[in-house]
Amino acid sequence: LAKTTQPISMDSYEGQEVNITCSHNNIATNDYITWYQQFPSQGPRFIIQGYKTKVTNEVASLFIPADRKSSTLSLPRVSLSDTAVYYCLVGEGSSGGYQKVTFGTGTKLQVIP
């Protein structure tokens, strides 16, 4: 089961781009990389998922180098409402039945006015 390592916390000013990096050295061939966002008193919410190179949607970009041992979530021009905990997961891509995934402790992003 691939383990992930993320910074415990980050601060950023409003309007800046924020990059959160996650290490996953023992990622398996079938594993996807998925990021979730969690606000207080709510369940995690899916942000973005990728397998390799770059993925972009309306809220974020995900950069994955060729060796896939790390990934970077990029949030453009953050606002106060982006203050949340961000989780990086690997897994969920097994072709043979369900593969357990492990949530780490996440990165607490604090956006400052």
Partner 1 sequence: DVKVTQSSRYLVKRTGEKVFLECVQDMDHENMFWYRQDPGLGLRLIYFSYDVKMKEKGDIPEGYSVSREKKERFSLILESASTNQTSMYLCASIRGVGQPQHFGDGTRLSIL
Q: Which residues bind partner 1 (CB under 8 A)?
A: 32, 34, 36, 41-46, 49, 87, 92-95, 97-106
Least Å distance, CB 113 to partner 1, is: 26
Closest CB to partner 1 among residues 21, 49: 49
Length of the chain: 113
Least Å distance, CB 36 to partner 1, is: 8
Least Å distance, CB 45 to partner 1, is: 7
For residue 109, which of 80, 73, 84 has the smallest C-alpha distance?
84
Closest CB to partner 1 among residues 52, 77: 52
Closest CB to partner 1 among residues 13, 51: 51
CA distance 109 to 35: 14
What order do you get walking across the sheet with 9-13 strand by strand? 9-13, 107-112, 84-91, 32-38, 45-50
Within a 13 Å sphere around the CA of 81, how many CA atoms are in the beta-carbon half? 1
Least Å distance, CB 110 to partner 1, is: 16
CA angle 102, 75, 66 (to 5 degrees): 60
Closest CB to partner 1 among residues 42, 113: 42
